[in-house]
Chains A and B, each alone.
Chain A
Amino acid sequence: MSPREVRLSTTPSDEAIADLRLGDVVYLDGLMYTAREGVYMRALEDKANIPMELPSQSAANFHCSPAARINPDGSFDMGAVTATASFRFAKWLPEWMAKTGAKLIVGKGGMTSKDYKEYFVPNGAVYLSTVGYGTGALLGRGVESVEAVHWNEELGLAQAMWVIKCNKMGPFIVASDMNGDCLFERENAKIAKNVERVYEGTKPAVLKRYGESDDRRDEVI
């Protein structure tokens, strides 16, 4: 069975978001900006003014650094576009969503259902995962134009805030919904049934590590 395909605006209505189901394949239209740890720290910790009108211009935050260059004449060349793992940004996302009204968090690997229930659902937001990972060329084709790049002097090209115009950019997979359910956790639960069988006969390492015991008064032998 093929997944359902959906075209979605980067400033989506509440109804459009509510209609999304886990595992749907999404293609995006409209403006999307990249923001990851560099942008979050600059905007939230250093209190720099965000150089866009959010969420009216875009409600889609892409955890991404593109393979791109700024030409001497100020124009841009964007080649491949892929996401970076999002779980590392949980620290900043609640405040970022409150500040920017982001409705679509786009990245790699999703967040936990706890994150979804605590601040995605209350903000009317869902998570879209890139596919693969590494459909960089396909996503690059969906970039109609680069509208701007902000903070590249301060943060470097990889951490800068790139503003891109999407034209049927995709595929992305819906990884959370308005129940706060998590696609990846659903799949983990299915796979968990095999774990005992696969590990049968193997044994724990002779030398343990901290992390396997979180009590630092313990020894690791």
Chain B
Amino acid sequence: MIPISLIQSTAEVLMDKAAIEIPQDYLDGLQQAAKTEDGDLSSFVLKAMLDNYEAAKEDRRAMCGDTGVPRWFVKMGNEAQVEGGMVAMETALRRATANATNGVPLRPNRVHPLWRTDHDNNVGIGAPEIEYGFEPEGEWIDLITVHKGGLFGTDYRMLFPSDGIQGIKRFYLDSLMAFGKRGLACQPAIIGIGLGGSKDTCMALGKRASTLRIVGSRNSDPRIAEMEDEFKELGNSIGMGAMGFVGKNMVIDCNIEVGYCHTGGMPMSVHAFCLSSRRAVARIHVDGRVEYRTDPDWFTPYQRRETVDWEPQREAAE
């Protein structure tokens, strides 16, 4: 049984870490981009961002004033149990979100869509989102918080099999062009593409591809992995850099995730995880150990399974 107090205190640490510490994989990617960038203005921007990450860590202040829409992904090993059950856990995550908003401080972004009611704590109806995943074995629980911008850089479109790869490329480029100009997407970004699923799942897949996979990771399907390389290069060949200035670096990496969709369709979503790609992860073990990391490691073989039953023996033999 994992104590509820440990879940809340760990969640508060995660909110702080996500807001302040740029993940190493994104930092490495941006440093590499800064080396290759030759546009005057976009080089200046990348250098300022690298300075900003340092300033955030030195001062222990948030790296970006816009907290985005803080949210949670929770993954549990099949044998994990939480003191007080899942309702207690959701309460703990909502408390941690509210406490960290005041504590770090973060910007209280969340308001009612119509009445603009603001509780000044990033908590409200459906906020923060809490999504779940499970793994076949283990008594641990992974808490993942993601602070992703909430306004620009994302789009959805129902494509069809006859649109083909060229249609996918066009919508990808359209999304980069539309939100890259003037830097609305806060690029260079980790671009996530969701392909397939039902409409809502398609959005969730793309969001998870951008936020729950690290720079340098590749899809386990080798043909999709090739597309990821190709799309990264395509995005960086536009000639647009940071803030929409002339430059070479728009895409730090491109991650694609797929789900089975309606036989007549090929829905697609595009998401941009920005210059402040904020994510933090902790695994809480049943014995009370807490391990912090920045790789959510969300897309395991189990998450991408295609079969009716899960047979770990077969997976291990492959």
Which of A's residues lie within 8 Å of B, judged by CB?
Answer: 1-3, 23, 25, 38, 64-69, 77-85, 87, 108-110, 129, 131-141, 155-159, 171, 173, 184, 187-188, 190-191, 193-195, 198-199, 201-207, 209
A132-B45, A132-B243, A198-B239 provided; 13 other pairs, C-beta below 8 A? Answer: A67-B107, A79-B62, A80-B56, A109-B183, A136-B61, A136-B65, A139-B65, A140-B61, A171-B48, A184-B181, A203-B163, A203-B166, A205-B157
CB-CB contacts of B26-45 with A at 8 A, as 1s and 0s? 00000000000000110011
List 21 A–B pairs whose Cβ atoms lie within 8 Å, in order of A's numbering: A64-B65, A67-B106, A80-B61, A80-B65, A108-B183, A129-B243, A131-B44, A134-B276, A136-B52, A136-B276, A137-B62, A140-B59, A158-B111, A158-B118, A184-B244, A187-B244, A195-B238, A198-B173, A199-B170, A202-B170, A207-B160
Within 8 A of A (CB), among B41-74: 41, 44-45, 48-49, 51-53, 55-56, 59, 61-67
By beta carbon, the residue of chain A nearest B162 is A206
Task: Out of B106, B162, B184, name the residue touching A109 (CB < 8 Å).
Answer: B184
Bound-state CA distance A65–B65 (Å) is: 7
Also in contact, A132 and B186, with CB within 8 A (given A156-B108, A194-B238): yes
B90 contacts partner chain A, Cβ-Cβ < 8 Å: no
Task: Out of A64, A157, A205, name the residue touching B170 (CB < 8 Å).
Answer: A205
* Closest beta carbon of chain B to A84's beta carbon, Å: 7
CB-CB contacts of B145-176 with A at 8 A, as 1s and 0s? 00000011000011110110011011101000
By beta carbon, the residue of chain A nearest B158 is A207
Q: Which chain B residues border A23 with CB–CB below 8 Å? A: 40-41
Task: Out of A3, A137, A156, A198, name the residue touching B238 (CB < 8 Å).
Answer: A198
Bound-state CA distance A1–B42 (Å) is: 12
Interface range on chain B (Cβ under 8 Å from partner) = 35 or more
Bound-state CA distance A131–B116 (Å) is: 28
B275 contacts partner chain A, Cβ-Cβ < 8 Å: yes
* Closest beta carbon of chain B to A159's beta carbon, Å: 7
Bound-state CA distance A187–B186 (Å) is: 16
Task: Out of B65, B111, B118, B160, name the residue touching A81 (CB < 8 Å).
Answer: B65
* Closest beta carbon of chain B to A62's beta carbon, Å: 10
Task: Out of B40, B105, B120, B182, name the residue touching A1 (CB < 8 Å).
Answer: B40
* Closest beta carbon of chain B to A58's beta carbon, Å: 19
Bound-state CA distance A85–B153 (Å) is: 13
For chains A and B in complex, what number of residue pairs have CB atoms within 8 angstroms? Answer: 205
* Complex contact A199–B173 (CB within 8 A): yes
Bound-state CA distance A201–B151 (Å) is: 30
Which of B's residues lie within 8 Å of A, judged by CB?
Answer: 40-41, 44-45, 48-49, 51-53, 55-56, 59, 61-67, 102, 104-109, 111, 116, 118, 120, 151-152, 157-160, 162-163, 166-167, 169-171, 173, 177, 181-184, 186, 234, 237-240, 242-246, 274-276
* Closest beta carbon of chain B to A199's beta carbon, Å: 6
Bound-state CA distance A23–B243 (Å) is: 12
* Closest beta carbon of chain B to A73's beta carbon, Å: 14
Bound-state CA distance A218–B234 (Å) is: 33
* Closest beta carbon of chain A to B149's beta carbon, Å: 9
Q: Which chain B residues border A78 with CB–CB below 8 Å? A: 105
Task: Out of A2, A141, A156, name the residue touching B44 (CB < 8 Å).
Answer: A2
* Complex contact B108–A110 (CB within 8 A): no
Bound-state CA distance A97–B297 (Å) is: 50
Q: Which chain A residues border B184 with CB–CB below 8 Å? A: 85, 108-109
Q: Which chain A residues border B162 with CB–CB below 8 Å? A: 206
Bound-state CA distance A204–B163 (Å) is: 8
* Complex contact A202–B169 (CB within 8 A): yes
